[in-house]
Structure formats: C-alpha cells, structure tokens
Amino acid sequence: MILDHPVVPLLGRLMMAYIFATSGIAKVLGWSGNLAYMSPRHLPMIPVLLAIAMVIELAGSACLVTGYHARIAAFVMFWYTTAVTVLFHNYWASSEMMAAIEETDFRKNLAIMGGLLMLAYSGPGKRALGRRGSS
C-alpha cells in the first residue's frame, strides 16, 4: 500500500511544520505588529510571550522537518497550540460577525493538534535524524 511508504510521515511532518514555520517567520519580521495584535488580550509580559511563541514555532518546525526530537517537539507544540487556540480563537466570546471566522480557526487548530498528538505518539517515521529503532 502506498501509505506504507517511508516518505509519508516525512510529508506529514513537512505539512504540519509549514504553518508553524511561516508563523514564526512572520513573528520575526513583524514583531511590532504581533505585539499590537496580542495587546488587546491583556496578557502579562507580551514581548516575552511573543519571544517564547517564536522559539516554539521556529525550533519546533525545525524538529518536525528533520524528525530530530520530533516527539518532544510535537508534544510541546500541541500544548502551545492548545493555549493559542483558547486565548485567540475563543469564538464563544466573539461578536456575531467574528464568531464564524474564529470558530473555523478553532476547528482548524483542533485538527493540527490531532496531528501533533499522533506524531508525539507514533514518532517521526523512518526518514528522521536521530531515529532509534522503528519509531
């Protein structure tokens, strides 16, 4: 079966890494805009939180792409995405106009979180740096 091919997990890791890598790069290139986006949430230490988010997204993406420590990275990224989803896509607290958009983003993030959990559970597959055994 074609889904048993060793490149399939690599493709899945690349697809999951794409959204985090591009978001991390956007944080680097648009630092002040991201600070402004986060400020209405009244979070403490927004620059520190933004820096942590940037590191998780960029380092996590590198781990997903290479497969190196992919299980740990996927687990950290799962919890990070959980926090971001609840804080920034809380459609139940949005205006009617924004609720549909936020609900779509919320559900999209649930799917990403599911993929991250599957990766944390099953490992990166055969095409991964630092791979031991059959993970």
From CA 127, how far away is CA 14, in angstroms rounded? 12
pLDDT value, residue 1: 63
* Amino acid letter, 83: A
Single pTM value for the model: 0.88
Output the average pLDDT for the chain.
Answer: 90
Distance (Å, rounded) from C-alpha 46 to C-alpha 68? 29
Residue 95 has pLDDT above 80, yes or no: no
Q: How far apart are CA 107 and CA 15, in angstroms?
A: 17
Q: Where residue 59 falls among pLDDT bands split at 50, 70, 90?
A: very high
Got the DSSP string for 20-69?
Answer: HHHHHHHHHHTHHHHHHHHGGG--TTHHHHHHHHHHHHHHHHHHHHH-TT
Give the integer Cα–Cα distance in Å for 97 and 52. 31
Cα separation of 113 and 77, whole Å? 8
pLDDT beyond 80 at 19: yes
pLDDT band per the 50, 70, 90 thresholds, residue 135: very low
Q: Tell me if 119 sits within 8 A of 20, measured CB to CB.
A: no
